[in-house]
Structure 1
């Protein structure tokens, strides 16, 4: 057993709650832009004073509509300004917010609203409202439904016209640090989502220590962050609250289809993302270079960036020749990639899945450091992250200050600290199973090095045991294979089988570019090319790269290219893009069987 901890850098207020942050910002930084609101005409700044005024107005409407202290109020929307506004309005009314993914099915919505006992919900669109209406008969406690794009904020403001500021401040002021702030339902790779009960104290401990440890990323009046992750996900929620705590300007983006244009317009200094975002940036830059006949230059530039980053970890640092090559490629390649990311940013924070050493070194080498972290809904997002001044690429960093990470005898990662959830809502059995003697059992397998840097190697429940008795952690090889531009998703299979295999889906955007560059028929699809020798050879190269990271017994011997995608709508992916392995295995059972039938023949 091994454990590591760092002293807390932030003291959680005894009697405070999260609404104190917006009151403090309005008092201390009244004219500082704390929000960036996206409109049809571009980005509009919202000052700390304006934000508090708008939050109070919406909170008055909630109170006038009958929302009582402790009531649960749901939010179902894409990431947008009104989401953040209503989140704070719910707290200001003394209530508990319950985020719902905007992609949720009617069954999922019914379960979350019923299990949480929500009395009201704010949805984004008419389609959302219709879905809620379809299950309304099963929700006797649900009294009110507001539609954001139908004027929900204006409606609440008008309804609360007779409520005073003092009433709102008194209502919000009743909340204490140990009161429930939100119930976040895990997206669930198996079974029904479970509601994680997170207190105001947990978010204070989480965000306060993040802001203190990453101070250069949170400069009031200068720094800004563009949030395009789902606000309903705990990673997005942590971003929202850390930005308000600092405070720095927070921009919210509902549709990543316009991400490149919005990065250029908003020009954030910090970006929060999942590895797939950074893979896309790299792959898009490489594909563009190849289309312009500069593929070899880009590849040399990428190798130089990686070598330059690795050399920074050595005592002697980059050699003179490497520094000169780096300077040349900075003018030719790196500054263009930084411009795509907004042009002002120096740091990003990545979570949700392993980033991989190759991408980590590439981005640091071009002057845009991606700090990898790790966490769960139950830990308010990040429970470990790489510090800005002592990054160790290939790990998920050191524990959040004020918390403890322990590696159990069986390799499971255990957590202890104020940032942890209180338990699962209405589920004492699940709570008792994961919270034992003050330690949260994550279900993840990991290691701690001598400096307290954590590495995650897999999930206990995802460990495959081949027919030969070999234990295989899928994450390591899947992440390496998925790094290839042509590959959208990879799922390793082989539990109880004679060898390890893989199901692979293709990235439709890059498949079109690849097919056109190799003279394949116009309009070629994954289905039409899945047995194409050139495509199979390209995928084999990605598999070979993945196999290089594991032992021979763990390596992928056979793979199957799928003609379809793993999608959230089909239930293959969670909203945070994690694989639901049981669903994939069921829906693609024939493809899995064909792997082993071919092998036996």
Structure 2
């Protein structure tokens, strides 16, 4: 492997990687013992919270319960629940005594839960409610290491605290002090290029390095007093998990919620100083504003204001001073339009950080022109999430920013983006061969293609592999569903699409011989050609059934929401298949670009 470009952001101060993650909470208590650090809506919808001291005491109480229950260092415990203060408390309690947290998405199917339980030898699962418990119960007999399910909504935390009352402070301290940086903190499962979820092993040292690097990279967001964040991303995702730890150890008040129906009200009430999200949220805010103003006079004013915001952002990003006329327009639209846009986020937001999926340049320029810098960042589960980001003093739209302090990025001779950092994972659980292939001489091979300019700003240009990243930031590997769908005799090929789109869809090519054989079995008339077959309601209903059956094997975010049948044959000769008869994803996507852009993802009509 030859590297053609490398860039390192130097550390501002040394980082101690041997600390237990629980140290973040202890340090916060030592600095701001009576300051509220976590808030949430209670059963009546009112805001409640924990001070640093209250939350530490609760975490220790839960940890003592785990000790009493017999959990030992290295034992794995799953959490199957939405984002909540309970999720955070259970997580902190587990890592404080050397146990391993295994996040499970609340949307995961029983088959996915079984796979994770077996691979990481989970002993207990904290399930949010009866619905989640039922999923676990359905696979209990197939998960030999799983001893039981504890239901959060049925008092699991109180039960743990009660169980641990007989455990002494000295016993807890002994377990805590025996937990060091090189110990495993969590196994996070992510879809790999093959479609099979793989567990990423992240240690205390991985997180502690990444967290301190975050403080050094964006101190205005992470460590300045008075910062507030509404965390609504799933804590099963490593990005949200990282932010949870970052807020606890910094000087931030963190509101935890998973109710997207009330998120705008939460913004208005809580008044966050910065926003952390995937691009889809910013797209929804922009689209909602466009719809609200309509096509009349207000619509025309908004359209002009949007253009002015983008022009302002482009000008200032180029380092130029806006003209007198541009400054006058910007002042006018700030009062008429921009202020209302920013008020959606609560009115006190200084910046927004976007990650998890590529961000539209137009969207970034719009919000930046409105007065809300939209900092795009980059990270992987393998790096504890963030490892590059734009900042207040180093901001270039169209890039993912510079490396975090103490981290290095490089471009290999084939254009692949590589990362070296103490935050890079220990490896892939039970897959030493993948670890050896993906982490070479300390450099993590990301699978992304990119470039680095002389100032250290990184641009992504594509991906070496076929992982789909939706607009909501969900990583979807298409292989599993595609392989299931093409087992149908009437389907010749299936290709999933959805990169940077709001949902996953599919393009289906039929097997005419198989279609006619199936139609005969159904008592129907045969189709003369693929054109006729693609329009048959009977055939479409069968394709729909096949896709729905395949969807049962994955979470909703990974499922195919829409499909189109094309009346074409995909062959090696027409370039849509490789010589080994695999689909050429990039070629097919380009070939059906009009179908994808204008039929599957119908453009929003202008009012």
TM-score normalised by length of structure 2: 0.78
- What is the correspondence of 1:152-167 to structure 2 with a 5 Å cutoff? 152-167=156-171
Q: CA deviation at 1:291?
A: 6.5
**Which one of 67, 73, 84 corresponds to residue 69 of structure 1?**
73
Q: CA deviation at 1:462?
A: 2.9
Q: CA RMSD in A?
A: 3.2
Contact 2:226 2:251 in 1 (8 A): no
Q: Whole-Å Cα distance in 2 between the matches of residues 143 and 501 of structure 1?
A: 38
The reply on whether 1:347 has 2:351 as its aligned counterpart is: yes
- Structure 2 residue aligned with 1:34: 37
Q: Whole-Å Cα distance in 1 between the matches of residues 549 and 278 of structure 2?
A: 16
The reply on whether 1:216 has 2:220 as its aligned counterpart is: yes
| SS class of match (1:278) | helix
The reply on whether 1:275 has 2:250 as its aligned counterpart is: no
**Which one of 566, 570, 579 corresponds to residue 551 of structure 2?**
570
Q: CA deviation at 1:218?
A: 2.4
Q: Whole-Å Cα distance in 1 between the matches of residues 466 and 314 of structure 2?
A: 32
The reply on whether 1:133 has 2:108 as its aligned counterpart is: no
TM-score normalised by length of structure 1: 0.79
Q: Whole-Å Cα distance in 1 between the matches of residues 211 and 375 of structure 2?
A: 16
Runs of 5+ consecutive residues of structure 2 not aligned to the other structure: 483-494, 504-542, 570-587, 595-607
Q: CA deviation at 1:169?
A: 2.2
**Which one of 316, 327, 344 corresponds to residue 312 of structure 1?**
316
The reply on whether 1:20 has 2:23 as its aligned counterpart is: yes
Runs of 5+ consecutive residues of structure 1 not aligned to the other structure: 464-473, 483-488, 494-499, 509-561
Contact 1:349 1:371 in 2 (8 A): yes
The reply on whether 1:386 has 2:390 as its aligned counterpart is: yes
Q: Whole-Å Cα distance in 2 between the matches of residues 408 and 349 of structure 1?
A: 28
- Structure 1 residue aligned with 2:369: 365
Q: CA deviation at 1:314?
A: 3.4
CA spacing shift, 1:97–1:256, aligned 2, 3 Å: same
| SS class of match (1:160) | helix
Contact 1:10 1:209 in 2 (8 A): no
Contact 1:22 1:52 in 2 (8 A): yes
Give CA-to-partner distance per residue, 1:253-293, whole Å, 9 cap, x none: 11211111111111111111111111111111111011675
Q: Whole-Å Cα distance in 1 between the matches of residues 98 and 498 of structure 2?
A: 48
- Structure 2 residue aligned with 1:444: 448
Contact 2:17 2:208 in 1 (8 A): no
- Structure 2 residue aligned with 1:415: 419
- What is the correspondence of 1:446-465 to structure 2 with a 5 Å cutoff? 446-462=450-466
Give CA-to-partner distance per residue, 1:125-183, whole Å, 9 cap, x none: 10111111111111221123211111111111111111122222221221111111111
Larger Rg: 2
Q: Whole-Å Cα distance in 2 between the matches of residues 234 and 150 of structure 1?
A: 27
Q: CA deviation at 1:12?
A: 2.7
CA spacing shift, 1:132–1:283, aligned 2, 3 Å: same
Contact 1:568 1:574 in 2 (8 A): no
CA spacing shift, 1:315–1:392, aligned 2, 3 Å: closer
- Structure 1 residue aligned with 2:288: 284
| SS class of match (2:356) | coil
The reply on whether 1:327 has 2:331 as its aligned counterpart is: yes
CA spacing shift, 1:125–1:298, aligned 2, 3 Å: same
